[in-house]
């Protein structure tokens, strides 16, 4: 029988489940949306129970589409939105507050206090991360400090902390396993990047009780089994990774210098830097890509907070277009941006600028500007922000890029992919299926379950790909990017 993998993909706005066969082909899938809550400006929350219910419903629906479920499903892989912070009652398993989402900026004041107290350099050296509200550590501190009774419950061991992977694992195993994988742990600002363990000094600085933390485990390996009540039988869980790490794995970016860019709600670029961490001098994050076979693979990461999410702004706020296809159609009506630049700093600017005060800017408008120019400026802004990060990656790592792997819904825009290739002056490779994230989780789980023996067994897996070759002249490339940098430097 052709064994299959159930891959769970828990994202910021939806929970998906996709079943893959041993050849990496999609067999069935299901998806459920769930809401975000924004009770105050710059606050973003989820209901953790809605996350769980949307995810398990998607999994059951995907399983319902195949036959011989019990005999054919070899394992489960999990990939998830990172940094989102969840606290739940150890006895009842119920959330004790809403989940604080990675986009939430409520812990900005905590970050400023830590910066003023001189901890910024130590935090970056220890964890590889910037001192920013983006990461779980300050979100967790905020919840314990600001929610009545939670710190006391944490000190007494009555509640547990986890990122989304840990929350799903706890529920899937019926409360038997409180663990996380090393890629997710590396995003908390609580883990020592060199040792791969929770760091005593970080816990002291943020005043986090160790007893509420999950056990850190490799990304590939046995985590536990689903409780029989979930699916009617037990399934081993053998692979877990944060979404961007799973995407890097899904692209089979196993060599140092390999890069992927996921174009989704935001843009997330990861470069495999090998078995030792590379600490950035240019604003990148140092992180663990994955752990397997007793080894850790490290990565450099750069984040763009707003990419595909800008489309909603163009549709809902400006009423400029009705859908993504219309943006591409309009953008192709003009030869260039007509001097119009859009800087997507609606939640500040991430790597390499790390400016919380930067705000969205539309610049260069004249009487000759049309909505076609604005649409083109929107697409180009994604490429410019990606180049901001790639240039720093090259400088920090010493690796010269041969090409860039891409995935995510926004890569369906051919005009953006062509512009990106020209701006970077390297080929951009888009696979026939842009499901690299969830495929990565499936591949990890398959390796963990023994479906494949080694990375070599999965390197050649996958279908056709589209290669966008660079065709932009150097003087045009330099002029366009110089115009971008001039505007960005004015707002950061």
Query: Does residue 98 have a cis peptide bond before it, meaning omega lies within 30 degrees of 0?
Result: no
CA–CA gap between residue 326 and residue 333 (Å, rounded): 11
Nearest of 231, 208, 102 to residue 163 by alpha carbon: 102
3-state secondary structure of 331: helix
Q: DSSP character for 457?
A: G
Report the C-alpha dihedral over residues 340, 341, 344, 345, rounded to 10 degrees.
Answer: -120
3-state secondary structure of 125: helix
- Report the CATH superfamily, name and number, of domain 4-243: ATPase, nucleotide binding domain (3.30.420.40)
pLDDT of residue 8: 98
More confident residue, 306 or 417: 417
CA–CA gap between residue 213 and residue 203 (Å, rounded): 10
Segments making up each domain of the chain, as ranges: 4-243
pLDDT of residue 265: 74
Q: 340 φ, ψ to 5°?
A: -90, 130
pLDDT digits (tens, 9 = 90+) for 429-465: 998 876 889 999 999 999 999 999 999 999 877 667 8
Task: Go through 180-215 and write b for each residue having 16 or more CB atoms within 10 A of its CB, e for each that does not.
Answer: bbbbbbbbbbbbbbeebebbeebeebbebbeebbbe
CA–CA gap between residue 210 and residue 479 (Å, rounded): 52
Q: DSSP character for 212?
A: G
For residue 155, pLDDT beyond 90: yes
The token pair that represents 260 in the structure block: 């992927």
Asked if residue 83 lies in contact with residue 246, where contact means CB atoms within 8 angstroms, the answer is: no
**Which of left, alpha, beta for 238 (phi over 0: left; psi -120 to 50: alpha)?**
alpha
What is the chain's Cα-based Rg? 22
For residue 283, pLDDT beyond 70: yes
Asked if residue 337 lies in contact with residue 380, where contact means CB atoms within 8 angstroms, the answer is: yes
Nearest of 134, 154, 157 to residue 146 by alpha carbon: 154
Contact residues for 256 (Cβ-Cβ < 8 A; gap 6+): 272, 273, 274, 397, 399
Which residues partner with 237 through β-bridges? Answer: 76, 224
Nearest of 413, 372, 466, 81 to residue 263 by alpha carbon: 413
Strands 404-407 and 259-263: parallel
Q: Give 41's Cβ-side CA count (13 Å radius).
A: 2
pLDDT digits (tens, 9 = 90+) for 75-120: 999 999 999 999 999 999 999 999 999 989 999 999 999 999 999 9
CA–CA gap between residue 290 and residue 296 (Å, rounded): 6
3-state secondary structure of 296: strand
pLDDT digits (tens, 9 = 90+) for 23-67: 899 999 999 999 999 999 889 999 999 999 999 999 999 999 998
pLDDT digits (tens, 9 = 90+) for 399-416: 989 999 999 888 989 999
For residue 354, pLDDT beyond 80: no
CA–CA gap between residue 235 and residue 173 (Å, rounded): 10
Asked if residue 346 lies in contact with residue 359, where contact means CB atoms within 8 angstroms, the answer is: yes
pLDDT of residue 434: 62
Q: DSSP character for 314?
A: I
Query: Residue 411, Cα to own-chain centre: how many angstroms?
Result: 16
Average pLDDT across the chain, whole number: 93
């Amino acid at each position: 029988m052709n064994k299959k993998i159930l891959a769970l993909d828990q994202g910021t706005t939806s929970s998906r489940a996709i079943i893959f066969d041993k050849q990496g082909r999609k067999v069935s899938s299901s998806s459920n949306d769930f809401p975000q809550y924004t009770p105050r400006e710059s606050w973003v929350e989820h209901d953790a129970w809605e996350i769980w219910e949307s995810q398990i419903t998607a999994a059951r629906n995907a399983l319902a589409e195949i036959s011989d479920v019990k005999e054919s499903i070899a394992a489960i892989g999990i990939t998830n939105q990172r940094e989102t912070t969840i606290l739940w009652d150890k006895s009842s398993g119920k959330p004790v507050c809403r989940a604080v989402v990675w986009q939430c900026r409520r812990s900005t004041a905590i970050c400023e206090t830590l910066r003023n107290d001189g901890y910024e350099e130590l935090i970056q050296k220890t964890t590889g991360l910037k001192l920013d509200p983006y990461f779980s550590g300050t979100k967790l501190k905020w919840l314990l400090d600001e929610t009545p009774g939670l710190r006391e419950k944490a000190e007494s061991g009555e509640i547990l902390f986890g990122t989304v992977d840990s929350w799903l694992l706890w529920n899937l195993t019926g409360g038997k396993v409180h663990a996380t994988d090393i890629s997710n742990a590396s995003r908390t600002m609580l883990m020592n990047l060199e040792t791969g363990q929770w760091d005593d000094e970080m816990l002291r600085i943020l005043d986090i009780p160790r007893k509420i933390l999950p056990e850190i485990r490799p990304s590939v390996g046995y985590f536990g089994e689903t409780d029989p009540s979930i699916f009617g039988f037990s399934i081993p869980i053998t692979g877990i990774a944060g979404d961007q790490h799973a995407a890097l794995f899904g692209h089979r970016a196993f060599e140092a210098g390999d890069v992927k860019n996921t174009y989704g709600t935001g843009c997330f670029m990861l470069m495999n830097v090998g078995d030792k961490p590379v600490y950035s001098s240019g604003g990148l994050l140092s992180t663990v890509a994955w752990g397997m076979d007793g080894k850790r693979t490290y990565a450099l990461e750069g984040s763009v907070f707003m990419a595909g999410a800008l489309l909603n702004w163009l549709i809902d706020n400006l009423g400029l277009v009705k859908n993504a296809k219309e943006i591409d159609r309009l953008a192709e009506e003009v030869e260039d941006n007509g001097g119009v630049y859009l800087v997507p700093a609606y939640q500040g600017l991430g790597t390499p600028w790390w400016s919380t005060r930067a705000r969205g800017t539309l610049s260069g408008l004249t009487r000759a500007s049309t909505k076609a120019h604005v649409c083109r400026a929107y697409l180009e802004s994604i490429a410019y922000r990606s180049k901001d990060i790639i240039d720093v990656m090259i400088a920090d790592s010493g690796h010269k890029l041969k090409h860039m792997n891409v995935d995510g819904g926004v890569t369906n825009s051919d005009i953006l992919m062509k512009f990106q290739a020209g701006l970077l002056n390297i080929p951009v490779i888009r696979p026939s299926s842009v499901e690299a994230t969830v495929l990565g989780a499936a591949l990890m789980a398959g390796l963990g379950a023994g479906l494949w023996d080694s990375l070599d067994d999965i390197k050649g897996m996958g279908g056709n790909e589209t290669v966008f070759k660079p065709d932009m002249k150097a003087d045009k490339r330099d002029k366009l990017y110089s115009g971008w940098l001039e505007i960005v430097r004015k707002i950061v």
